[in-house]
Amino acid sequence: MSDDNGKGAEKDIGSREQFEEMVKRLELSDNSLIGLYRTMCTIRHFEYMADKLYAAGKVHGTMHLSAGQEAVAAGISQAVRPDDYLINHHRGHGHFIAKGADINMMMAEFLGKDTGYNHGRGGSMHIADFQSNNLGANGIVGGGIPQAVGVGLALKMQKRKEICICIFGDGAANEGVFHEAMNMAALWNLPVLYICENNKYGMSMDVEHAVAKLPIAQRADAYGIPWACVDGNDVVEVYEAMKTAADHVRAGKGPYFVETITYRYFGHSKSDRNLYRSKEEIEDWKRNRDPIMRFTKHLLQSEILDEGQAQEIDTQAEQVIVKAVEYAEASPEPDISTLMEYVYA
């Protein structure tokens, strides 16, 4: 259970001994830890670059950025297999990067180019990579939650070992299909890991004004689905919860529900002027509980990385994003003559 509501002093990250004991218990190698760090840095750079590109007038449409939520994406990805299926929400960049998407193709799609994942038809909100079982982001809040029932059902009927990871936000949990899907996934004992990425706001609506009983994850009790609610800004805690959940699901024991409490730094989308939350609140999260800052402290404290190495990884991540922008900007626009393509298979 997460302990805080984002107010107050710097989050106590715990002692070196506690961290090392946890990492040992979870059998996380140094390489895995460094990988988590690299993933989070890459996501952070992608999101800030996206914002920068938008400010420079290079982005045609909207975007939903996940800066501040990187530990959720990284932690999930470390806990599941690369060939597991992913159904994602509209704030999806981080999850796709963590799943190993081609950053060049993502950036090209973001800029609406023909070389993008969707040949410029989808944009930020609909990136998908069917080669890697990434079934895409969804522009309809909660739209993917019931589709995960179908993916889980197919996996079960085909007697396969992959599972379906279905991620949605706190706002989506109030859509009717959430309840239909929880019921059916539990009823049919399907291999679906449901993850509610609670970043505290559904657009401007504070979760406490939108959900009658918190945590959201306790709703799983109504369907007999085991659940957990964890600090989504602690990447190792996220990993641990997801590992437990994914192992349960993969063992054929049915769905599992994990809620991660996190926070987004940017507004909901490009139109957001943050009128519903204070600058102090945003600063508090950035300064005191930033997921990358917290994890970096652990890595330095446990001498898994030194400051130079941490900086180097961060710089490398930034370079990946810069190169992706170069690739995307050099890519052709879709030819207008192809307008009518892809309507029917």
Partner 1 sequence: MPELSYLEAIRQALWQEMKRDERVFLLGEDIGRYGGAFGLTHGMLDEFGEERVRETPISEATIVATAIGASLLGMRPVAEIMFMDFILLALDQMVNQAAKMHFMFGGRTSVPMVVRMPGGSGSGAASQHSQSLESVLMHFPGLIVINPSTPYDAKGLMLSAIRNPNPVCFVEHKILYKTKGEVPEDDYTIPIGVAEIKRPGRDITVVANNIMVIKTIHVAEKLSKEGIEVEVIDPRTLLPLDTKTIIDSVARTGRLLVVHEACQTGGWAGEVIASVVGSPAFDYIDAPVRRLGGKDIPIPYNRGLEMAAVPQEAEIEQEIRALVGGKI
Binding residues (CB under 8 A) for partner 1: these are 85, 87, 116-122, 126, 128, 130, 135-136, 138-140, 143, 145-155, 157-158, 164, 176-177, 180-181, 183-184, 187, 341-345
Question: Which CB atom, from 135 or from 299, has the smaller least distance to partner 1?
Answer: 135
Give me the least distance between CB of 213 and partner 1, in Å please. 22
β-pair partners for 260 = 197, 230
3 state SS for the chain: CCCCCCCCCCCCCCCHHHHHHHHHHCCCCHHHHHHHHHHHHHHHHHHHHHHHHHHCCCCCCCCCCCCCCHHHHHHHHHHCCCCCEEECCCCCHHHHHHCCCCHHHHHHHHCCCCCCCCCCCCCHHHCCEHHHCECCCCCCCCCHHHHHHHHHHHHHHCCCCCCEEEEEECCHHHCHHHHHHHHHHHHCCCCEEEEEEECCEECCEEHHHHCCCCCHHHHHHHHCCCEEEEECCCHHHHHHHHHHHHHHHHCCCCCEEEEEECCCCCCCCCCCCCCCCCHHHHHHHHHHCCHHHHHHHHHHHCCCCCHHHHHHHHHHHHHHHHHHHHHHHHCCCCCHHHCCCCCCC
Nearest approach in angstroms of CB 157 to partner 1 is 6
Task: Kindly state the smallest distance separating residue 147's Cβ from partner 1, in Å.
Answer: 4
Q: Least distance (Å) from partner 1 to the CB of residue 83?
A: 12
Q: Rounded to the nearest whole angstrom, what is the least distance from the CB of residue 230 to partner 1 in the complex?
A: 26
Nearer to partner 1, 28 or 149 (CB): 149
The smaller minimum CB distance to partner 1, of residues 14 and 150, is found at 150
Rounded least distance, CB 7 to partner 1, Å: 37
* Nearer to partner 1 among residue 150 and residue 226 (C-beta): 150
Nearer to partner 1, 149 or 245 (CB): 149
Tokens at 267, concatenated: 């507004």
Q: Report the nearest approach of partner 1 to the CB of residue 332 (Å).
A: 14
Minimum CB distance to partner 1 smaller for 8 or for 252: 252
Report the residue number, 119 or 248, with the smaller CB distance to partner 1.
119
